[in-house]
Structure 1
Amino acid sequence: MIEIRKANNEDQSEILKIYNETTLHLLKRKIKQWDYPWDAENIQKEIKKNEAYVVLLNRTLVGAFCISPIKKLSTITIDPEGVYLSKIAILPKFQGKNLGSEVVQFACSFARQQNLALYLDCWAGNEKLKEFYSDNSLEYIGDFPEEDYFISIFKHQ
């Protein structure tokens, strides 16, 4: 059984493990989605702001993500009334079980209930993730510069 809920302080160490393990898995595949290691203090801040969520499968914490108010994404200004879905991480051994789609659908429903647009992004070189987003009814907006690389931005209205 899949459950998605807001993260709490007791989840912090598990969330940190999930992000670090997922990031190492991506780096081994030469996907530069995130920096390693993750900062526990940033995760704590997201939990305090009620922006962090966890994914449980049969009561086991297997994933995490954030939904936050949007101000600016990359060098383009996006609808300030939107929300930003970020940091979707599913432990590698639980990937391929439709959990990522559950997260995207949860976030789309969250945004729809509040009458907001939902945005998300990924490293422009991550073709598999870009295909996943498109397959989950997200509209590709374009590629935009971000520091020393490009990000692909997607939207759900």
Structure 2
Amino acid sequence: MDVKLHVRLACDSDVEYIVSLIDRVQAQLTAAGSLQIIGPLSQALVAEYVAQEAAFVLEGTQGLLGSVFVRPVTPEKLPHLITWQLTDSELHPWFLQKLALEPEQQGRGLGFSFLAGVRTLIAQRDPQAHIVLDCWAGNDKLRTFYARAGFTLHGEFPEKDYQVAVFIQPVS
């Protein structure tokens, strides 16, 4: 594992990497029999997240190791906030999605460092922010990961023909 890790906003030159990473992670998920879908993503969509300063990357001494999208949301931008009962204006919700690490780097604790770095960067922009995320309620491994990363289970909510687990964490 790289000893020196750095989290930063993604830039235009990272777009191709992020698209490729999401493809590799999706292939790994599919090969493992997972029904989770995180990609593919178009370059235009990733470039939009980068332009909005809502894409972050994890860098190690050997290069890029991961990416994630986190952006401030309102019930108008993310209607699920209403279903999830997260409409309190004091929350300052930022929605986290598409967290991806290089497949060969997974399981080494990088995700915890990545999330901590993202939290720090968001706190600099919005000290009142709370990061909100969801995952399939039946994914015990991912639920355990988010709980170990300091997120609190807010609840389980229906989504089409399955349940999602919604987690929340203040940035400071």
TM-score, length-normalised on structure 1?
0.89
Q: Quickly say closer, same or farther: Cα 1:6–1:12, change in 2 above 3 A.
A: same
Q: What residue number does 2:166 align with?
A: 153
Q: Could you tell me whether the CA contact under 8 Å between 1:7 and 1:53 is conserved in 2? A: yes
* Alignment match of 1:19 (pick from 19, 22, 27): 22
Q: What residue number does 1:96 align with?
A: 107
**Partners of 1:87 and 1:9 in 2: CA distance:** 18
Gaps of 5+ in 2: none
SS in 2 for 1:50: coil
Q: Could you tell me whether the CA contact under 8 Å between 2:136 and 2:163 is conserved in 1? A: yes
Q: What residue number does 2:117 align with?
A: 106
Please identify the structure whose Cα radius of gyration is greater: 2
CA RMSD of aligned residues (A): 1.9
**Partners of 1:8 and 1:110 in 2: CA distance:** 15
1:102 is displaced (CA, Å) by: 1.0
* Alignment match of 1:6 (pick from 4, 9, 29): 9
Instruction: Please state if 1:63 is matched with 2:66.
Output: yes
Which string of whole-angstrom CA distances, capped at 9 and with x for unpartnered residues, describes residues 101-132 of structure 1?
01221233345441221211112222101001
**Partners of 2:137 and 2:34 in 1: CA distance:** 10
1:73 is displaced (CA, Å) by: 5.7
Q: What residue number does 2:84 align with?
A: 76
| Residue identity matched to 1:16 | V
Between 1:65-74 and 1:8-17, the stretch displaced more is 65-74
TM-score, length-normalised on structure 2?
0.82
Instruction: Please state if 1:37 is matched with 2:40.
Output: yes
Q: Could you tell me whether the CA contact under 8 Å between 1:145 and 1:151 is conserved in 2? A: yes
Q: Count how many residue pairs are aligned between Structure 1 and Structure 2.
A: 157
Identity %: 25
Q: Quickly say closer, same or farther: Cα 1:148–1:25, change in 2 above 3 A.
A: same
| Residue identity matched to 1:105 | A
Gaps of 5+ in 1: none
SS in 1 for 2:41: coil
* Alignment match of 1:142 (pick from 155, 161, 164): 155
